[in-house]
Amino acid sequence: MSALKNIIIGAGISGAVVARKIAEELNETVLVIDRKDHIAGNIYDYKDSKTGITIHKYGPHIFHTNLEEVWKFLSKFTEWHYFFLKPNVMIEGKAVTLPFNLTTLYEVFSYPMAKDLEIKLVNKYGYGVKVPILDLRNNDDDNLNFLAGYVYEHVFKNYTTKQWGLKPEEIDASVTARVPVYISHDNRYFQDKYQGIPLNGYTKMVEKILDHPNIKVRLNTDYKDVKGDFDRIIYTGAIDEFFNYKFGELPYRSLYFDVRTENKEYFQKAVVTNYPNEYDFTRITEHKYFLDEKSEKTVISIEYPQAFENGKNERYYPISNPENQALYEKYREEANNTKNLYFLGRLGDYKYYNMDLAVERALKFFEEEIK
């Protein structure tokens, strides 16, 4: 076995994938640490002892990808419960299809009006096209302008403001593009080739990724408290925290989850119901839908977006805009000037990765930087 020593800070999906590749392909020892009391980072899930329902502690996670390499890699560590996310959204007191698509037109408007809008949308943009709502607002048809305004006001604006604490126009287009008008009758939220949830949960999948003789995991452990001379440091935590915020704190959004057990078989008709305009929360998740688990009771999570406050809550979403990106680049340059120090993951790269892109990044990182 090579004497080269590796430490990976963060036992989430990014850290776990890199640890496995180093341990398996390079036959090197890897110490993986996390200051949380569990592995799997924000995709951590667990069985509720009272209901037997698997709970996604940090919000709903549905794996979806078009990347065959990523799907095949993860499939070595889990079987899949094939699952298509079909959420809904409350518009004027009625739960309707999300994303806002051609089906939704007929749920909120009269048939003649919906049919007219469908024809105009297909003629202008084509079928099967996702149009970001901010783009839809820029057209010269009065009816489509009305539709754009309706969707903007009833679905997009207030949800985005609650989620990010910013106006839609103040957020990077890559983020706002996640809430399009979908010109299709396909009611799935994602159209990726591969979609599902690990059959035994995300935590078990990450546990298997980390299950290798060359990998040692230590939880409830802060990097600053680890003694040792490591030849390679891979950090998946917040890059600004690693450098003691020498250039200032990178902004994030956080979340608070009000988890409740309800004395009924089902609470709502979809796994996720979004509330753009009512209340202070953004959505309610009903967990038993994920793995089609049966129980006389049900467990829901009510999701409240918050500003991130260091030491008080968790970092969830980097806030992408030019000012924050410029601050991140200062830290990135500092990292590049430090030998054998690497950053990746949502917090290390300050990038809003979906799970599949986090895995792809970790696999490419290993091939290009480590191997």
Q: Is 81 helix (H, G, I), strand (E, B) or coil?
A: strand
Contact present, 142 and 113 (Cβ < 8 Å): no
Contact present, 128 and 183 (Cβ < 8 Å): yes
Q: How confident is the model at residue 122 (pLDDT cuts 50, 70, 90)?
A: very high
Architecture of domain 5-82+194-251+318-370: 3-Layer(aba) Sandwich (3.40)
**Rounded Cα–Cα distance for residues 73 and 70 (Å):** 5
Q: Is 13 helix (H, G, I), strand (E, B) or coil?
A: helix
Q: What is the pLDDT at residue 1?
A: 40
* Angle of the 68-75 helix axis to the 355-365 helix axis, nearest 10: 90
pLDDT single digits (tens) 133-186? 888 988 889 999 999 999 999 999 999 999 999 887 787 777 766 678 999 999
Q: How confident is the model at residue 348 (pLDDT cuts 50, 70, 90)?
A: very high
Q: What is the pLDDT at residue 2?
A: 46
> Would you give the distance in Å from CA 33 to the centre of its chain?
22
- Rounded alpha-carbon distances, angstroms, from residue 198 to 81, 220, 308: 6, 25, 29
Q: Residue 99, preceding bond cis, omega within 30 degrees?
A: yes
Q: What is the pLDDT at residue 89?
A: 98
Task: Give the pairing type, strands 341-343 and 232-235.
Answer: parallel
Instruction: Record the pTM.
Output: 0.95
Tell me how many helices (H) and strands (E) the chain has: 13, 19
**Rounded Cα–Cα distance for residues 41 and 302 (Å):** 20
Ordered by start, the domain boundaries in the chain are: 5-82+194-251+318-370, 88-183, 253-307
Q: What is the mean pLDDT of residues 92-108?
A: 97
Start-end of H helices in 142-271: 142-151, 157-164, 173-176, 202-209, 239-242
Nearest residue to 94 via CA among 79, 104, 83? 104
Q: Please, what is the end-to-end C-alpha distance for the chain in angstroms? A: 16
